[in-house]
Structure 1
Amino acid sequence: MELQLELKSQSGARRLLPSPAKLMVNTLMLLFTASCIIPLLWIGYSSLKTQAEFANNILSLPGAPQFGNYLEAIKITNMLQLSWNSTRVTLLSVIGITAISFVTGYITARLDFKGKKAMIFYYLFGMLVPIHALLVPIYLLFKNFGLADEWYTLIIPYIAFNLSLPIMLVSSYVVGIPREIEEAAAIDGLSFSGTMFRIIFPIAVPVLTTVAILQFFSCWNEFSFALVLLKDESLRTVPLGMSYFKSQHSTNYPQLMAGMVLSMLPVTLIYFTFSSRIIAGVMSGAVKG
């Protein structure tokens, strides 16, 4: 009896101990997490240092916190104007992406038509094309058609280049919705568009919320198109505003990092507020697909 108890306790201890493979995976994930968090912490406390403290030792903690760096960052960049520009462009882009991805995703999930596979491949191919390879032709196209340096300039490429993933998410989500719901709506006399917007749209709200939040992050943080297509300073977005801290001979890094912290605040607050909904929406789309 004692031998059996000893064997059971040993087997239980073995189960409690992680296997070498799990230990290696957990270690790698811990290192990856640290590599993401440590730079953010460094930016946070470096934004409270004086320029002399930062130049003397970039890793040391600040002596007396310099919260004035944030006030200077707001003044130098005209942060309110930058934030308004980014908010306007981002919200309109997110609305356009969400609406188009819902309609397109529903159609690809429910209808069979000639060229459907080609259209799906076209959207999937859009995920493989590097944006930076298209900056020059897009700049020339916008310049020739008079679309550059307008308040709506960035909305066009933001919508066009952010449709692939949302369409795939919506399509995989809609596939998992029972067709009987739409058949019952058709029997009741509801049209195709009525079924799509009055029946399917409320059901697809979780995945559409995920799409909207993810695309908010993408559009708010976008830099390349804003740099190439906008020359008017009054139209610049928050990421472009970080260039105001760089002069010809020096850069005020603590003020730059204060500006970076301010630019990250909206997306950080949104992420921590809706993180569970983002994960739930992605997972529900994956499971239903």
Structure 2
Amino acid sequence: MELRTTRATGTTMDSPNRKLVRRGLSGLGKLILIGYAVFTLYPLYWLFISAFKTNEDFFKRPYALPLVWMKENIFRAWELGGMGRAMLNSTFVTLSSVVLTLAFGLLAGYVLSRFQFKFKKVAVALFMAGLLIPIHSTLVPLFLMMKQMNLLNTYGALILPYTAFELPIAIFLAMGYMASIPKEVEEAAMIDGNGWWGIFGRIIVPLCTPIVATISILAFLRFWNDFSFALVFINSQELKTLPLSLALFSDGFGTDYSLTMGAMAIAVIPTILVYLILQDQIMKGMVAGSIKG
């Protein structure tokens, strides 16, 4: 009886200790996450404070707040880099490429995930092989093709390659997500009189909002920040994109860091806004297809 009482007493005495341990582990986990967040966001903070510094202040006090907040850096970078026109070009090229990527990627993903047909595995393998192709190794062949097709110095010279190289990952993500959608949903839609196009447009696409957001942000980041394709395929000042505008502040003799940081701060704002708008859907899309049904 004494042994049982001791054991029972020990059990009741251990429970508060366990709660303290759990709270300590939970607090430690939160501290680690906060530290990781600070570590991740610090480069962004550094970019924005550097955008308002003089070149002298940038080198002498790289991590401190500006002695004098040079708002003129932003306006000078906007004017000298022609960033207004460049931002319009980047916006048009990026949005057009994202729309085409979503259209073809969702259609291909739907067919490959929901239908059985001959050579389906071959088609999937060919699309997935696109993930293995080094993008920059195709610059020379693409340049020759664009020249023969008279597409150099046009929006199409960027939109078409962007869409083609982003489709494999878009199809891969769409296939994985659509495979998790119960087929009973399609059967119910057919009973209501919907055809395949009606099912795709009215049922499947609305259910794919998380993966659409994920594909969109991945494609947006790649297209918005691309430098190599724009440098090779675009020579006209009227069609230059934001990455090309940023390159104007650096030459073989030196770099104007105050203007470069100001221009980079302008260029990064649309990316931040897009991510903030789509962040909830992106988190859902990251676990897309992990649970069926």
User: Is TM > 0.5 for Structure 1 vs Structure 2?
Assistant: yes
1:88 alignment counterpart: 92
Bigger Rg over Cα: 2
Shift of 1:17: 4.3
Alignment match of 2:17 (pick from 10, 14, 28): 10
The gaps in structure 1 that reach 5 residues or longer are: none
Task: Find the aligned partners of 2:12 and 2:106 in 1 and give their Cα distance.
Answer: 60
2:72 alignment counterpart: 68
Shift of 1:64: 0.8
1:239 alignment counterpart: 243
Judge conservation of contact 2:87–2:241 (CA < 8 Å) in 1: yes
2:221 alignment counterpart: 217
The more displaced of 3-12 and 278-287 is 3-12
1:264 alignment counterpart: 268
Task: Find the aligned partners of 2:16 and 2:191 in 1 and give their Cα distance.
Answer: 63
Judge conservation of contact 2:234–2:240 (CA < 8 Å) in 1: yes
Q: In the superposition, relative to structure 1, how do residues 276 and 189 fare at CA in structure 2: closer, same or farther (>3 Å)?
A: closer
Task: Find the aligned partners of 2:217 and 2:263 in 1 and give their Cα distance.
Answer: 23
1:205 alignment counterpart: 209
Judge conservation of contact 2:109–2:178 (CA < 8 Å) in 1: yes
Q: In the superposition, relative to structure 1, how do residues 170 and 252 fare at CA in structure 2: closer, same or farther (>3 Å)?
A: same
**Offset from partner CA, 1:226-250 (integer Å, 9 cap, x none):** 1111111211111111011113422
Runs of 4+ aligned structure 1 residues displaced above 6 Å come to none
2:197 alignment counterpart: 193
Q: State the identity as a percent.
A: 34
2:109 alignment counterpart: 105
Q: Scaled by the length of structure 2, what TM-score is found?
A: 0.87
TM alignment of 1:129-148, pairs within 5 A:
129-148=133-152
Shift of 1:84: 0.5
Please report the RMSD computed on the Cα atoms of aligned residues, expressed in angstroms: 2.6
Task: Find the aligned partners of 1:3 and 1:171 in 2 and give their Cα distance.
Answer: 54
Task: Find the aligned partners of 2:18 and 2:205 in 1 and give their Cα distance.
Answer: 52
Q: Scaled by the length of structure 1, what TM-score is found?
A: 0.88
The gaps in structure 2 that reach 5 residues or longer are: 1-5
Task: Find the aligned partners of 1:63 and 1:208 in 2 and give their Cα distance.
Answer: 44
Alignment match of 2:180 (pick from 173, 176, 181): 176
Task: Find the aligned partners of 2:118 and 2:66 in 1 and give their Cα distance.
Answer: 64
Task: Find the aligned partners of 2:182 and 2:19 in 1 and give their Cα distance.
Answer: 45
Task: Find the aligned partners of 1:264 and 1:214 in 2 and give their Cα distance.
Answer: 15
Alignment match of 2:168 (pick from 159, 164, 167): 164
Judge conservation of contact 2:74–2:263 (CA < 8 Å) in 1: yes
1:192 alignment partner AA: W
2:3 alignment counterpart: none
